[in-house]
């Protein structure tokens, strides 16, 4: 089946649920067994059997199956947030004395987790240039236990040569973990490019409606038990109501992302022609430094990108953001609504310098009409120029 057909039909079994088109919401903690033998035989490594609410219900399993099959992974497990989906695999592969390589353009909370929790517990964390490609081989050590990627980065959007990095890591027996939230299971097939563990903030495009928090971890067969056991031992679980909402949102990820990508491309192209804008950073644009890698590895682009303003006073940048009426000011992305923030990156790089020559604005393009969003940005620019 092609991906849009798969999205519609995967993880559904109406015959099993009295003809219901969607898997019902199963709310439970306790599971009752028919006899003592059945109770004592529960557990083991099969995490797709209902044994206790902590490990999931048929509602949970339906969402996990849908995500894993869309992405081409062996199996998936959902956790309470995107950050939980980052923390659990890192904890699964690392212990005191190990070495971890992390891309320098990584999501801020990932860096915080590494610096405040892994480092104090004896893990050597080394940040690397996102454009290193096969050169990462020179950074791999005898004690390297994982390489963490994020392509593109969610603020500065550098593309990584994932297949080259994976080839170097796998030659040393090192697994590759990647935050693939931007690409989503719809636009990026991580396991075809060498990734072993794919990590998603399901809060964003997978759910798509800005009303739940969710993380998802998808792995290949080799890494599955290591990651799944760690999630269970950490006690992570997700409400079946949230799983139902996420699966409902996931069914429409294709129509949403295609629409939002078209709008994002139109708005990014418009921004390129604005005199106030120094550069638009969006891998889907021809001329972007990461465009060739994006075109090679991705089937589409998320509607999240940044642009650099020409040098402007902080008061003028504030006036620009505050003047926007359709763009909300807030964290997260991937929902139906458009968002705008000032991205302050300068203090969050250690392996590479970030000096764009002007303020960095990150936009998420939602489901609004792109012409209305352009008009909103235009009146924001007028406000920016009025501040002298």
What percent of the chain clears pLDDT 70, i.e. is strictly above it?
Answer: 100
The C-alpha angle with vertex 264 and arms to 261 and 269, in degrees rounded to 5, equals: 130
pLDDT of residue 277: 98
Domain architecture of the chain: domains with CATH: 3-250 (3.40.640.10), 254-386 (3.90.1150.10)
Per-chain mean pLDDT for the chain: 96
Q: What is the helix (H) or strand (E) element at residue 140, kind and residue range?
A: none
Burial 358-383 (b: 16+ CB within 10 A, else e): bbbbbbbbbebebeebeebbeebbeb
What is the phi-psi region of residue 208: left when phi exceeds 0, alpha when psi lies from -120 to 50, beta otherwise? left
Q: Average pLDDT of 253-280?
A: 98
Q: Phi first, then psi: what are they for 363, rounded to 5°?
A: -115, 140
Copy the structure tokens of residue 56: 């999931």
Place of tokens 């679980």: 237
Q: What is the helix (H) or strand (E) element at residue 68, kind and residue range?
A: helix 58-71
Q: Phi first, then psi: what are they for 143, rounded to 5°?
A: -95, 5
Which ranges of 119-172 does DSSP label H, i.e. alpha helix?
162-171
Q: What is the helix (H) or strand (E) element at residue 340, kind and residue range?
A: strand 339-342
The residues that bridge with 341 in the sheet, in sequence order, are 362
User: What's the CA gap between 266 and 360, in Å, rounded?
Assistant: 19
* Residue 48 pLDDT level (bands cut at 50, 70, 90): confident
Mean pLDDT is lowest, of 39-53, 169-183, 229-243, 364-378, for: 39-53
């Amino acid at each position: 089946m092609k991906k849009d057909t798969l999205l519609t039909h995967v993880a559904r079994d109406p015959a099993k649920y009295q003809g219901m088109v969607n898997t019902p919401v199963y709310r439970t903690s306790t599971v009752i067994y028919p006899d003592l033998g059945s109770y004592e035989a529960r557990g083991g490594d099969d995490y797709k059997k209902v044994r206790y609410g902590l490990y999931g219900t048929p509602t949970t399993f339906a969402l996990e199956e849908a995500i894993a099959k869309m992405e081409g992974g062996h199996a998936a497990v959902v956790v309470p947030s995107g950050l939980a989906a980052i923390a659990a695999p890192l904890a699964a592969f690392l212990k005191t004395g190990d070495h971890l390589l992390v891309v320098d353009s990584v999501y801020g909370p990932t860096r915080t987790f590494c610096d405040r929790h892994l480092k104090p517990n004896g893990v050597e964390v080394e940040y690397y240039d996102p454009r290193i490609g096969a050169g990462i081989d020179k950074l791999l050590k005898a004690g390297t236990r994982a390489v963490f990627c994020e392509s593109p980065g969610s603020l500065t959007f550098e593309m990584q040569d994932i297949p080259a990095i994976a080839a170097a890591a796998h030659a040393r027996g090192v697994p590759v973990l990647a935050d693939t939230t931007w690409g989503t299971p719809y636009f990026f097939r991580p396991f075809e490019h060498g990734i072993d563990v794919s990590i998603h903030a399901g809060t964003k495009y997978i759910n798509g409606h800005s009303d739940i928090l969710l993380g998802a971890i998808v792995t290949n067969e080799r890494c599955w038990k290591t990651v799944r056991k760690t999630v269970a031992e950490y006690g992570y679980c997700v409400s079946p109501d949230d799983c139902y909402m996420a699966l409902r949102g996931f069914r429409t990820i294709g129509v949403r992302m295609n629409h939002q990508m078209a709008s994002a491309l139109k708005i990014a192209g418009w921004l390129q022609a604005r005199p106030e804008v120094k550069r638009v950073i969006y891998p889907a644009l021809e001329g972007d430094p990461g465009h060739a890698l994006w075109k090679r590895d991705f089937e589409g682009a998320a509607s999240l990108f940044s642009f650099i303003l020409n040098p402007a006073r902080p008061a003028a940048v504030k006036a620009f953001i505050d003047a926007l009426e359709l763009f909300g000011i807030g964290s997260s992305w991937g929902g139906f609504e458009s968002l705008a923030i000032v991205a302050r990156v300068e203090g969050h790089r250690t392996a590479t310098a970030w000096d764009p020559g002007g303020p960095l604005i990150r936009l998420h393009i939602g489901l609004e009409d792109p012409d209305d969003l352009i008009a909103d940005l235009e009146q924001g620019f007028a406000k920016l120029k009025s501040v002298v």
